[in-house]
Structure 1
């Protein structure tokens, strides 16, 4: 919530020194100081929202209250008889304006400016902003405002007039206030606000507190100069010898660096003198901070000069910026990343407005297009701009400059050609900062020839890469690849995160331009495709073993590369079989991680490209995977047709193992469709002997479970129980954890239908443990749902509500309609158990209507639960049940039941209708 308020910040001048010299006396003095502060602030309506040591942060409704409180405090402090060794002199700063109120605290630029105003003052002095003076002037008050002139505070954004509050009887003569003008420095003033970077500033303070040389390293345009200047401005008080920035972009030698520093410090160098001697005299004095900006093109010279300066002058500290480290002993490297990014699925401005990149983009838009007012309809475009420009500050500034002449959605569409669109930077900026292309070109031109070659070839990767694939694509010796890749990381052209490398999208676009210009794009794409064919071959044997989770994590990271590899392979006749093989052999990965739609699309693309080609093992595997994954998408008729073709290819190839699996999968499709369970049972019984003859242990585990599920639907519960036991025993013998989880899950559901609640809970917990271990997304949701359903039978409602919410989140994200309908019925059970009969009946009606609309049958094993649910509803609302169920039939799957079942103690539920008509 944004509130307009006045803020008063205070602290005791010299308190650190007083604590060190007189700790006991200071303890007593501080207690009295705090007592006076709280007493006076309370009397004037002050809200103390934060204290830090002896500093107070206080909010007032009006500026008048804040100034009157400050005056009263200074009068009280002046009247107090402080011990001679601990005189308490408090400096205060007052400012007024809008601030964000959140979690009993306040945030925003108003607070920052209040702190800077206070920091400019001296003990016993009260300073106020022009905003405060304008709100209070004209009133008849026992104090006056004395203008101290226009000053640059250390927020660097703009100059502003500062006033001193004078009170009769109190001191009015103070030294000049501590602003940029009063301190030796040549730090520049920036027009745009300094956005975010609180965490980075905190880390930078920590690094600088321990090291005399800190180098801020990051890609071009990421804000290295801005944060270094902001950080240095914070420390003006600490460097009486001055804070000096030297721009190195146009320099080449050590000698030029010395001359530039003399010019920055306004040192006169006589005809018989030298810059180094002039600097020696100056730097031998007080503590001095040097900012060496843009070092990357003259690292050797900077390294020699800096090492000599730090060795000769113990009072000198150096903060440098570069696209790679300087590389001398004692250097602390501080890697600066881009600004924080918004959620790509955001639909409301409130979802993204707190994100650093969004805040900066909108700040720069406001500067060039004051009439632009962001609304929710802009949220998606704003998020896309920030994401696709990687949160790079300079890129965001260039994009913001286009908003005055281009709608946001049009700007998003043109980001595919970003190097033509994002031009027209500040005319006073360095040439490398005037266009997005020049920004990256500067770094590229500093690379050695082989590093340039690797740089462009790496553009073929989508979404990043591992060192193994880089070696296969680079066409360099593996050690040379690693060496060149390390240089690209050092020079901030490649990001290295947790054993994986990636480009920022903007840098990748530039690398792609270079790859296309080289004429080797097709050749490199072929090497890329073969690298991922090889990865799929390496991964396949591990996808049904205890190591499956590790391999699936790797494959999850490489999904974009797998897509790209398929597109490369299907475009060439001799690559189509490889494409089918690569996607088909990863079936368990696609299935376990619930990447159903994208894998079906890849399989259809590959098989369609192969067309009427002759039967081959690659087609056999691809058809099997296509059919199984289509079942997950409820495409039953298509799956049956695919499995029939799959069986014919198996027969043509003389492959009995594949034939047995194809027969089993036909049975599975009939079972899932539910129209001919007898046919499903017959097909399972036909497949099992073939699988046994082929020692197909994994296939048998699934076949026993599916025959058990069909037997349950046909009413043979004893046979089903025995089959689940058989599947579980075999899966444990062969180490097939996924099949074990399937058997346990289905067995638990059967146990619950037979009244064995404890047995069901035990089976579902075991299944959930396995699925969590192997990270089987869809299975985790199923086990959490089924465990919740079992807990509902023990009236363990809070536990059930948490599990249902977790399951719903997974099913909703995967758009699993059948599972969401099943969950609505469990939520109805929960509502009735909580005594919320109308809500329970509404959810029953919604579930029934959606089940009918989508043609989804209910398994026989679940029917007893549904019968029990309806009896509970009839008992709870005998007269209203039918009406409330009918009302629920008007709801859709847009419903989200989770907010209506908040676990007690976490939040309050809501009472409004939750469905949509």
Structure 2
């Protein structure tokens, strides 16, 4: 006998409710415009009926706790109309479902959804809402004319889902309903605002991505985007586990799909066919892989292409044309950039831009200069780029884009020539993707001179950000042997610097020799002096100190000849470093004294900060600890604040050396954390390292490990690699003397240290191992468990102790131990 499940409080079983909801089919409503041949309307099935009475989908809603709390407060407050807005795939419907379950009990007549995706005409709205209400209430909703009277005395939350394609009709209907029905409140989901007076907008944003791969695996696993990916991945591949080896690929997958829940779920299902690296490679080829056929999901939600196309069809032709051409931008762009690249936007560009923002086709942020910046999500841009390839004016659009980027790089060069390297770096950082795209286009059209101009204008940025291989490749692809001009001379010099950074010393020497000869032939004294100085530094790195001094002294004389004291001061610093390699420290103080007054440090010059850091180290060498720390702490704080500062690792290392000189446990821990942070930044960015300073750092680390002991030393390293940089400059941030933990002491101290906690015996073992600085993999090996099990134990421990990271867990147990 077939059982019928009755929903509590409704007097209806599932079959009866579905039957009533299916009365909507009798309205003859057309299907989804993206249904791809489904033909009939998207009928109200068991899933929609279950939502109507408070039964939610089986999958847990991930990463929306704050949104749910905020919406509960809004709907229980004064707002009578709330619209959830956002682009395709952000999970507006799922969030609305969760909120309905949260607040239903607060409405006498409940909270009831009406799905509008199948409608094609606003005239069908009243009938659709009436039928949905009739399925729940009684026969007083026989005709659309009775809708207002039927709702007048109700205390009800009406949920209208997918309003964007009939937004005008929804606006008209709700304007009258809200005026007539005092107890009615409405929650809508739409890709654009309804533009009704009193409407409260609530943007539903993509799930937060992992802030940095420097964080421990457990923290990465808890980030909403990755957590959703893992949840859905394990639904199709139960053995899938997030590990240190694949978390980088998973994080990049989530980034490429913009943290959109729909796209993350579609991507995760492909783990049946591909591992994370292969899936990432397929995603870089386009969005076609983001699809999955499901019987209970509308076709527009079965692929990202269909979801995007659903919203794209709702745009006007002018909006579509602009949106497609904006796909030429690889990253953020300004209004001025839009007008420069899309001249057709000059007349109504701002109006169209605002409309695209309202409809969720673009997002906005505030740039480093305080001006608005706009961008497309990666998935949207992939869609637009496909259409741009078939547009008649694609070549023209890409040509204008390349010309715009060339002007942008030339403008940034003026900051560089004025000594404002940080301003130069910040300006180009947000436009790096566009510079890469423009370079590829210039090469494809055979314009080698323009491509070389762009590569040469970018090389200092590429050097400062650690993009050495890419910068060198761009130069080598467009450099021409035998050419002399000013551009080629600068390109040879740039290639030499980047090759040296990569350890390609033979190539670097060849490039710098060509640069010296070309600058000399052109009579460019400053260029020749710069190339000679680089050649001298190359000789210093290779250990030929006599040749290094000869070349740097030749560079110094040229700088003096053209009366460039600031550049000459920096060469004096290099000469002093050569003497330091020989063990002679006498020149460094004199060089610093000469250089500091010439730096004109305006807060935007990393060369000046590096000289000041050296001055701090020399003060430390002379025994003036207080002055040394004051100088180095100031430099480090400025470097951290100006996050584009390419000398940040050196600034942190200088402060670390000074703090290590105090020889006290708290400052020793601070020094280790600073060294670890500097090393982590270098590993990520390949930023320039001064070999002479690194020698002192390595020596200091050996002494610090001996003084602190392995446990405290390793915990400090973990903190340096995971905590925010500003926290590392706080003298008192989490610095405690830490004991050495062993299995024997853990057995005798567990009862006291863990008193009052709900940790299991195994979790207590895990805490002890975390305090010893072991990674998840090492914990798994020590306890003979799977790595994913160890990761889960660490995550549960952090949740139970309300600790944000494993560093805090280690410090917590240490402090508990010390307090006893």
Q: TM-score, normalised by structure 2?
A: 0.73
Pick from 459, 465, 482: which aligns with 1:595?
A: 465
1:562 aligns with 2:435: yes
1:584 aligns with 2:452: no
Aligned to 2:134: 266
1:621 aligns with 2:496: no
**Secondary structure of residue in 1 paired with 2:158:** strand
Aligned to 1:354: 222
User: Does the CA contact (< 8 Å) of 1:777 and 1:810 recur in 2?
Assistant: no
Structure 2 distance, partners of 1:189, 1:902, is 36
Cα distance, 1:309 vs. partner? 0.9
Aligned to 1:280: 148
User: Does the CA contact (< 8 Å) of 2:459 and 2:471 recur in 1?
Assistant: no
Aligned to 1:206: 73
Structure 1 distance, partners of 2:588, 2:129, is 85
Structure 2 distance, partners of 1:394, 1:492, is 15
Per-residue Cα deviation, 1:5-29 (whole angstroms, up to 9, x for no partner): xxxxxxxxxxxxxxxxxxxxxxxxx
User: Does the CA contact (< 8 Å) of 1:459 and 1:508 recur in 2?
Assistant: yes
1:513 aligns with 2:386: yes
Cα distance, 1:307 vs. partner? 0.9
Cα distance, 1:725 vs. partner? 1.1
If asked which structure has higher relative contact order (CA below 8 Å, sep 6+), I would say 2
Pick from 283, 297, 322: which aligns with 1:429?
A: 297
User: Does the CA contact (< 8 Å) of 1:751 and 1:757 recur in 2?
Assistant: yes
Aligned to 2:335: 467
Cα distance, 1:260 vs. partner? 0.8
Q: 1:719 to 1:519 in 2, by over 3 A?
A: same
**Secondary structure of residue in 1 paired with 2:134:** coil
Structure 1 distance, partners of 2:331, 2:302, is 28
Per-residue Cα deviation, 1:707-730 (whole angstroms, up to 9, x for no partner): 232344456544442222111122
Per-residue Cα deviation, 1:387-429 (whole angstroms, up to 9, x for no partner): 3333323333434544455555554443345554333432343
Structure 2 distance, partners of 1:352, 1:900, is 12
Gaps of 5+ in 1: 1-147, 160-179, 844-893, 910-917
Per-residue Cα deviation, 1:864-906 (whole angstroms, up to 9, x for no partner): xxxxxxxxxxxxxxxxxxxxxxxxxxxxxx99xxx99999967
Aligned to 1:31: none
Structure 1 distance, partners of 2:136, 2:621, is 94
1:793 aligns with 2:666: no
Report how many aligned residue pairs link the two structures.
678
Aligned to 1:491: 359
Aligned to 1:655: 524
Structure 1 distance, partners of 2:709, 2:58, is 61
Per-residue Cα deviation, 1:263-287 (whole angstroms, up to 9, x for no partner): 1111799999983431122111121
Gaps of 5+ in 2: 16-46, 367-371, 718-776, 779-804, 816-820
1:722 aligns with 2:590: yes
By percentage of residues, which structure has more strand?
1
* Mean Cα deviation higher: 660-669 or 307-316: 660-669
Cα distance, 1:518 vs. partner? 1.4
Larger Rg: 1 or 2? Answer: 1
1:641 aligns with 2:510: yes
Per-residue Cα deviation, 1:739-798 (whole angstroms, up to 9, x for no partner): 332333334444444555455445534543554465464523223222322333332442
User: Does the CA contact (< 8 Å) of 1:365 and 1:372 recur in 2?
Assistant: no
Aligned to 2:204: 336
**Secondary structure of residue in 2 paired with 1:724:** helix
Aligned to 1:215: 83
Aligned to 2:749: none
**Secondary structure of residue in 2 paired with 1:808:** helix
Structure 2 distance, partners of 1:240, 1:838, is 59
Aligned to 2:406: 533
* Mean Cα deviation higher: 728-737 or 549-558: 728-737
Structure 2 distance, partners of 1:414, 1:288, is 47
Structure 2 distance, partners of 1:626, 1:150, is 75
Q: 1:707 to 1:766 in 2, by over 3 A?
A: farther
**Secondary structure of residue in 2 paired with 1:195:** coil
Structure 1 distance, partners of 2:138, 2:590, is 101
Pick from 392, 398, 415: which aligns with 1:542?
A: 415
Structure 2 distance, partners of 1:183, 1:608, is 61
**Secondary structure of residue in 1 paired with 2:599:** helix
Aligned to 1:831: 705
Aligned to 2:794: none
Structure 2 distance, partners of 1:469, 1:458, is 10
**Secondary structure of residue in 2 paired with 1:265:** helix
Cα distance, 1:495 vs. partner? 1.6
User: Does the CA contact (< 8 Å) of 1:216 and 1:224 recur in 2?
Assistant: yes
Q: How does 1:730-749 map to 2 (within 5 A)?
A: 730-732=598-600, 737-749=605-617
Cα distance, 1:689 vs. partner? 2.8
User: Does the CA contact (< 8 Å) of 2:93 and 2:161 recur in 1?
Assistant: yes
* Mean Cα deviation higher: 304-313 or 683-692: 683-692
User: Does the CA contact (< 8 Å) of 1:344 and 1:380 recur in 2?
Assistant: no
Q: How does 1:146-225 map to 2 (within 5 A)?
A: 151=7, 185=52, 189-208=56-75, 209-225=77-93
Per-residue Cα deviation, 1:95-139 (whole angstroms, up to 9, x for no partner): xxxxxxxxxxxxxxxxxxxxxxxxxxxxxxxxxxxxxxxxxxxxx
User: Does the CA contact (< 8 Å) of 1:195 and 1:360 recur in 2?
Assistant: yes
1:503 aligns with 2:393: no
Structure 2 distance, partners of 1:547, 1:632, is 22
Structure 2 distance, partners of 1:628, 1:571, is 26
Structure 1 distance, partners of 2:482, 2:321, is 38
Cα distance, 1:659 vs. partner? 1.7
**Secondary structure of residue in 1 paired with 2:225:** helix
**Secondary structure of residue in 1 paired with 2:327:** helix
Structure 2 distance, partners of 1:453, 1:238, is 46
Q: How does 1:738-887 map to 2 (within 5 A)?
A: 738-758=606-626, 760-765=628-633, 767-768=635-636, 771-772=639-640, 774-775=642-643, 777-815=645-683, 822-834=696-708
Structure 1 distance, partners of 2:417, 2:181, is 64
Structure 2 distance, partners of 1:359, 1:836, is 33
**Secondary structure of residue in 2 paired with 1:585:** helix
User: Does the CA contact (< 8 Å) of 1:269 and 1:278 recur in 2?
Assistant: no
Cα distance, 1:298 vs. partner? 1.5
User: Does the CA contact (< 8 Å) of 1:349 and 1:378 recur in 2?
Assistant: no
Cα distance, 1:450 vs. partner? 2.0
Per-residue Cα deviation, 1:225-261 (whole angstroms, up to 9, x for no partner): 1211221222222222342222222224444111111
Structure 2 distance, partners of 1:757, 1:188, is 67
Cα distance, 1:334 vs. partner? 0.8
Q: TM-score, normalised by structure 1?
A: 0.66
* Mean Cα deviation higher: 466-475 or 306-315: 466-475
Cα distance, 1:454 vs. partner? 1.6
Aligned to 1:314: 182
User: Does the CA contact (< 8 Å) of 2:493 and 2:531 recur in 1?
Assistant: yes
User: Does the CA contact (< 8 Å) of 1:664 and 1:687 recur in 2?
Assistant: yes
Cα RMSD, aligned residues only: 4.1
